[in-house]
Structure 1
Amino acid sequence: MGTVLVTCAYDPDGVLKEYAAEAAEQSRRIAGRTQPFSASAPGTFRSTARQAELDAAKFLRVLGLRDAYATSATSDAGIDVLGTRVAAQVKWQKSQVGRPAIQSFLGACHPDISNRILCFFAYSGFTAPATNLADSVPMALFRFDGSPTQWSPANLVAREFVEVALKNR
């Protein structure tokens, strides 16, 4: 847990690097305690995968990535949310997301988007191998429960990302 994973090539403008040390310290203090984050009104229920994608885009906009948008549902090429500085995948499924899904998303993130912050949202959470791979990339993992709209960082990268983003809003 001592490595600051968020200070990598996925922060081309250096926004996250500037606060990474402080965010890492805050993350260490809250390690093991996941704070849910409400991205929309209490009581909202995601009834479809498409709504989950729209909510993920809204969540990223709340965190300061103002141009994040849900891509076209029919031709997203494996990327569900895109912005100048972010690319995200959203899985609305009952089983946990495994390492193959993380690898597939990484494959979809070809060179022209390699300098974006990578995020993965899942209703069901993530397997340990998926989390280990995401930590090594780094990729922020978020779990959401569907009702009310709650987002919980699922790895250290996500906790650091949220801490820094909220501080910079």
Structure 2
Amino acid sequence: MQPEDKRHPPGAPAPQPVNEWAAAEENAVRWLQWLGHGTAQRSRSGADGGIDVTGTDVAAQVKWYGTAVGVRSVRELVGAATGLPVRVYFLCNAGFTRDAIAYADRVNVALFRFSPADGSISPLNSAAEQAYASAVQRHTRPTVEATSAASQFRAFYRETARDASGPTGPASKAAVIVALVPVGMCLAGALVVILARKTGGGPNWLGNAWAAWMTVACLGVLPAVVIAAVIQGRKTPPVRGSSAAGISHPDPQEP
């Protein structure tokens, strides 16, 4: 028996018993979609020409057999899929003969055996192993990227919290003041508009002055942020435990 993580890899279909041919085809559809063929669906009864599952990029045959599938059935599947721009799969609960596996390797047909107990699939040749490994990597990558992003965010948060809790000297206060100047100008401009409306308007020069004031306030946001960053960057608070050689030691309170 295979290890549990191989039988049910990330994002794999939920385990379901397969006890007849229709369930086998439905099971194949779910696994082919997991393998990357999102348009996979069962073929119409009697119109498949030897192909039980089709899609824009996939063609598959599914067998519910008591014995291993021989090379003849694989050849027939290849003939039915000839000329189609698809990846060809063959799934069977009983597996395949050595001759069938050797032929499938030559024509790049992926062979899988599925378990009647839970529907899980096992690759039986090189084409199937490549398809399976690619699917595992594709379904695992989002989790890895999300974990990496979460780790980076936690590191950024800790660094920001440490800086925020550190000493605030004149440079820090100056940076805050510079950054808030455009905000104060915008608030003042809004207050002028409110007062002008309550008094029934104002002289024309007041409107022109207000427009110029708000233009300066809006355009001054970016320079103010840049200047604040420069001021903040020049803040060099003494490091506790630093030596004359310039080697700093961590704060005893830092985790």
* Same fold per superposition (TM over 0.5): yes
Confirm whether residue 110 of structure 1 aligns to residue 70 of structure 2.
Answer: no
Q: How far did 1:37 drift?
A: 4.1
Match of 1:120 among 78, 90, 106: 90
- One-letter code aligned to 1:123: N
Bigger RCO of structures 1 and 2 (CA < 8 A, at least 6 apart): 1
Give distance in 2, aligned partners of 1:81 and 1:139.
Answer: 14
Q: Where does residue 85 of structure 1 map in the other structure?
A: 57
Give distance in 1, aligned partners of 2:45 and 2:123.
Answer: 25
Confirm whether residue 146 of structure 1 aligns to residue 116 of structure 2.
Answer: yes
Q: Given that residues 37 and 152 in structure 1 are in contact (C-alpha distance below 8 angstroms), is that contact kept between their aligned partners in structure 2?
A: no
What's the TM-score once normalised by structure 1's chain length? 0.73
Give distance in 2, aligned partners of 1:152 and 1:79.
Answer: 20
Q: Which has the larger radius of gyration?
A: 2
Unaligned regions of 5+ residues in structure 2, if any? 1-5, 140-255
Give distance in 2, aligned partners of 1:46 and 1:73.
Answer: 19
Unaligned regions of 5+ residues in structure 1, if any? 1-34
Higher strand share: 1
Q: Given that residues 25 and 53 in structure 2 are in contact (C-alpha distance below 8 angstroms), is that contact kept between their aligned partners in structure 1?
A: yes
Higher helix share: 2
1:24-75, Cα deviation, whole Å (9 max, x unpaired): xxxxxxxxxxx43475333x21121111111101111112211010111222
Q: Where does residue 18 of structure 2 map in the other structure?
A: 46
Q: Where does residue 72 of structure 2 map in the other structure?
A: 100
Give distance in 2, aligned partners of 1:127 and 1:150.
Answer: 20
Following TM superposition, the consecutive aligned residue runs of length 4 or more in structure 1 with deviations greater than 2 angstroms are: 35-42, 165-169
What's the TM-score once normalised by structure 2's chain length? 0.49
Confirm whether residue 130 of structure 1 aligns to residue 103 of structure 2.
Answer: no
Q: Where does residue 36 of structure 1 map in the other structure?
A: 7
Alignment CA distance shift 1:168-1:51 (3 Å): same
Provide the secondary structure at the position in 2 that maps to 1:75. coil
Give distance in 1, aligned partners of 2:108 and 2:82.
Answer: 15
Q: Given that residues 81 and 88 in structure 1 are in contact (C-alpha distance below 8 angstroms), is that contact kept between their aligned partners in structure 2?
A: yes
Give distance in 1, aligned partners of 2:135 and 2:88.
Answer: 14
RMSD (CA atoms) = 1.5
Count of aligned pairs between the two proteins:
132
- One-letter code aligned to 1:40: P
